Amino acid sequence: MPTKKQPVLAKVETTAPPADDNDTISLLTDETESVDEDNIIQAPKVKEDKRKTKPRTQKQIEAFEKVKAIRDEKRKERIGKREQEKAEQQESQLKLKEELQKQTEAKILKKAVAIKKKHIIQEAMLDEISDEDEIPIEVVKKIQQRKEKKTLPAKPQPIQKKEAPTPKPQFPVYTFI
């Protein structure tokens, strides 16, 4: 009990081609003429175009070739334009990358110069201090204050408000008699 549509089956009869020599081909026998499921083959469906087609005229062919040539030219123009835009975009990205690299190098160089200056100043201060046998306490305090100002800038601390404890809701007291 198949529920699907069964394919259209056509009976294929095998016939022998006209025999030139009786000895060479004798394919038909009583067994092949009987109808068996083995001999039934599904016939391929061929759709025929029912529209009538006229052959093209020479002018139509020439016009088609002309339009085809124009289409190919425009296609080549579009491809060339896309490639040019892509090349321009890559150039602009490369320039941007180089510019960013130069800026980064300039910042690094500036920072290195600043660090080197600080190092030289610290060495000079240490040389001055080490030359003297007795170091006045005031000088040491000033140096310490400078370091504290540089390392720990004063930041105002936000004032934290203390919240009053929320009162607990009072429930009515029930008495039973």
Q: What is the pLDDT of residue 29?
A: 47
**Cα separations in angstroms, 157 against 8, 93, 167:** 91, 45, 30
43-55 pLDDT, tens digit per residue, is: 778 777 777 788 8
3-class state of residue 41 by DSSP: strand
Using only the alpha carbons of the chain, give its radius of gyration. 51
3-class state of residue 9 by DSSP: strand
Task: Assign 77 a pLDDT band (cuts: 50, 70, 90).
Answer: very high
**Cα separations in angstroms, 103 against 17, 89, 96:** 90, 21, 11
